[in-house]
């Protein structure tokens, strides 16, 4: 049956203005976007008055934990969490057990995705075997098997000569190198941002320069090799400004910012709350402000969650011992709307560009704008409802998030993927 989404306000990456229109869907295609489309007996009409219709989101930095740690998350539960948050495409990271570092493992992950996920699943491949930073993984074979990016995410490639060679191969195979920037010797046993809060809590800190030094090194190697480097989860204003300068110099560098590095800082840790322990760590309120301005100014190419589920048992350890990481797929869109869009800090056009269109372009996919003849892949979002992130609401297998049991403005009401309604509430 055809579906007519009546009287919605359509968001796009190209305009800050919302366009009021009806959207008629037949099969996996949008066959008309216009005012006052006529209904018929074979058309289901869905009233979208007061709702925002926006292209479905796409997340390029997700840890599904499968294979190896299915107690934390599976590809299936990860994809259901994504749907819950209005996301219809994921790029999975390779720090699984075993590491995704061969063509066979790339194929295995993609096959699980096809069998278990209702949305598009893509995967990265590791830069080095076992992510040990000692020997290159089979880059060409992983590309042929379907890997869309290379990364040792969770760890840097500490050996600059090995990373240089990896970049040269990656350039030949037209693959971005996604870089987790950290100097391990500087981070040492740190568990949060090194600063006034770490001193007051008596916790070992991770200095901002640990990230910034590695970031500048990796940019310089990309400049030398001509490779495309994608800097993951930037957390410091100094690091962001280094990327901005490199872009101005013509280096092929892209970068991402996470919702949690925009929304939280080290002061939120309070009395050793492990829900705020993540890597790279939450920095300062000044970093929050400057990263937000960088997103508005276009320094950041994409928003990505770095969805990193952990069991409740693990996160209940003391702060120094608990694992780094926060879940984000269920919570990203409503929390960004509540904190920024609803307050007029930035508009729907920025969100669509940075969390839908550009993430797809990063891995050479076409965006999914709401237009005549386009793929029917969009969200119906109600800005007047609220979302409470209870255990029952969340679809991720893990609940390691500061948003647990918190209420925010806005709700994802419907998710349409290839014309099929995956979520309707």
Residues carrying an active site annotation: 306
Helices (H) and strands (E) in the chain, counts: 14, 18
What radius of gyration, in Å, describes the C-alpha atoms of the chain?
Answer: 21
Pairwise CA distance, residues 222 & 228, whole Å: 6
Cα–Cα–Cα angle for 203, 324, 178, rounded to 5 degrees:
125
- The label of the residue with tokens 């720090």 reads 95
Q: Which residues pair with 150 in a beta bridge?
A: 125, 177
- The label of the residue with tokens 């995956």 reads 422
Helix, strand, coil percent values for the chain (each to nearest 5)? 35, 25, 45
Strands (DSSP E) found in 115-219 = 120-123, 150-151, 177-179, 192-193, 205-206
Helix, strand or coil, per DSSP, at residue 51: coil
* Residue 128 per-residue DSSP state: B
Helix, strand or coil, per DSSP, at residue 267: helix
* Dmax (CA) of the chain: 68
In our burial notation (b when 16+ CB lie closer than 10 A, e otherwise), range 325-342 reads bbbbbbbbbbbbbbbbbe
Pairwise CA distance, residues 331 & 146, whole Å: 29
Q: Which residues pair with 55 in a beta bridge?
A: 378
Q: Which two tokens stand for residue 213?
A: 């030094």
222 contacts 177 by C-beta, under 8 angstroms: yes
Strands (DSSP E) found in 322-388 = 378-388
Q: How many other CB atoms are found less than 10 A from the CB of residue 288?
A: 18
145 contacts 195 by C-beta, under 8 angstroms: no
């Amino acid at each position: 049956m055809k579906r007519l989404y009546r009287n919605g306000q359509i968001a796009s990456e190209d305009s800050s203005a919302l366009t009021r229109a009806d959207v008629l869907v037949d099969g996996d295609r949008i066959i008309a976007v216009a005012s006052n489309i006529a209904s018929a007996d074979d058309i289901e009409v869905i009233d979208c008055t007061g709702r925002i219709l926006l292209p479905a989101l796409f997340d390029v930095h997700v840890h599904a934990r499968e294979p190896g740690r299915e107690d934390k998350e599976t590809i299936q539960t990860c994809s259901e969490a994504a749907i819950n948050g209005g996301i219809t495409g994921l790029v999975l990271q390779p720090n699984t057990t075993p590491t995704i570092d061969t063509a066979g493992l790339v194929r295995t992950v993609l096959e699980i995705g096809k069998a278990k996920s209702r949305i598009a699943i893509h995967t990265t491949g590791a830069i080095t075997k076992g992510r040990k930073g000692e020997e290159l993984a089979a880059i060409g074979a992983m590309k042929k098997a379907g890997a869309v990016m290379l990364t040792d995410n969770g760890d840097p490639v500490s050996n600059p000569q090995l990373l240089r060679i990896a970049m040269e191969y990656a350039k030949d195979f037209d693959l971005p190198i996604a870089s987790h920037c950290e100097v391990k010797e500087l981070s040492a046993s740190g568990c949060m941002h090194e600063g006034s809060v770490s001193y007051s809590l008596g916790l070992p800190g991770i200095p901002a320069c640990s990230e910034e030094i590695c970031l500048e090194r990796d940019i310089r190697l990309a400049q030398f090799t001509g490779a495309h480097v994608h800097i993951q989860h930037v957390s410091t204003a100094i690091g962001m400004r280094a990327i901005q300068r490199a872009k101005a110099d013509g280096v092929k560098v892209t970068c991402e910012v996470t919702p949690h590095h925009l929304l939280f800082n080290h002061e939120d840790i309070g009395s050793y709350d492990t829900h705020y322990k993540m890597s790279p760590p939450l920095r300062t309120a000044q970093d929050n402000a400057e990263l937000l301005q960088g997103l508005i100014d276009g320094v950041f190419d994409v928003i990505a969650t770095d969805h990193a589920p952990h069991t409740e048992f693990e996160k209940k350890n003391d702060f120094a011992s608990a694992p780094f990481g926060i879940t984000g797929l269920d919570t990203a869109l409503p929390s960004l709307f509540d904190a920024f869009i609803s307050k007029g800090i930035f508009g729907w056009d920025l969100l669509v560009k940075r969390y839908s269109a550009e993430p797809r372009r990063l891995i050479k996919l076409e965006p999914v704008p709401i237009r005549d003849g386009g793929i029917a892949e969009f969200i119906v979002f109600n800005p007047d409802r609220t979302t409470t992130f209870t255990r029952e609401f969340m679809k991720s297998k893990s609940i390691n998030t500061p948003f647990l049991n918190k209420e925010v403005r806005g709700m994802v009401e419907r998710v349409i993927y290839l014309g099929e309604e995956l979520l309707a509430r």
